[in-house]
Amino acid sequence: MGEAIDRPRIEAAVRELLLAIGEDPERPGLERTPERVAESYRELFGGLARDPVAELGDPVPLGATDAGGATTSDTVIVRDLAFRSVCEHHLLPFLGTAHVAYVPDGQVVGLGRIPAAIDALAARPQVQERLAEEVADALEGALAPHGVLVVLDAVHGCVTSRGPRQTGSSTVTVVARGLLAEPARRAEAIALIGGRADA
């Protein structure tokens, strides 16, 4: 995918927005704001030009097998991955933590590739519920695992900064598929995400 950001149009729109709220875009302090916003949007929405499955890279085959020829790796869990996105309803940020688990079917991805895929999906106008689904879709597309679990816990600017201003609130979304949608496997994976390896 190519570059999706049109900086001159963003700068013009920000100037118009400043005028619409009664500000002077030429006053000191605001004169470079359109340029700064365009640069920040390049980063915040750069995921529109990135393919999350490509970010996961080439799968790595698992070498270890049991006596029956099945791979011995059960569940891979990557916890506490920080992410940030922008709510598509109000264009306000939401910041959170992602936890991802999957049951490999003979292949895995590099651990650093999972946060790269999450970043590609989060760096676009989003809603948290869809983001969790898209992370699961990317893992399924890259690996065809036996199961996927994605847990996102985020604080939303549209909840903390406007309306009821619930500053202590966070939102949790869970997507479970395949083996990890089975109640016992899902509960075990969520317990491991919570740090209780003995659960």
Encoded tokens for 141: 């597309």
Cα distance between residue 137 and residue 140, in whole Å: 5
- 96 within 8 A of 155, measured Cβ to Cβ: yes
Binding residue per annotation — 163? no
Binding residue per annotation — 92? no
Q: Is 188 a catalytic residue?
A: no
- Active-site entry in 87, 126, 134, 188: 87
Q: Is 39 a catalytic residue?
A: no
Q: Is 156 a catalytic residue?
A: yes
Encoded tokens for 3: 């570059």
- Active-site entry in 3, 31, 88, 129: 88
Q: Is 90 a catalytic residue?
A: yes
- 153 within 8 A of 194, measured Cβ to Cβ: no
- Active-site entry in 55, 99, 156, 188: 156
- Active-site entry in 35, 43, 89, 182: 89
Q: Is 31 a catalytic residue?
A: no
Q: Is 88 a catalytic residue?
A: yes
- Active-site entry in 39, 90, 107, 133: 90
Q: Is 182 a catalytic residue?
A: no
Cα distance between residue 164 and residue 162, in whole Å: 6
Sheet holding 76-87, edge to edge: 125-126, 76-87, 93-103, 147-156, 171-178
Binding residue per annotation — 146? no
- Active-site entry in 128, 134, 146, 188: 128
Active site residues: 87-90, 128, 156, 158
Annotated binding-site members: 87, 90, 158
Annotated binding-site members for Zn(2+): 87, 90, 158
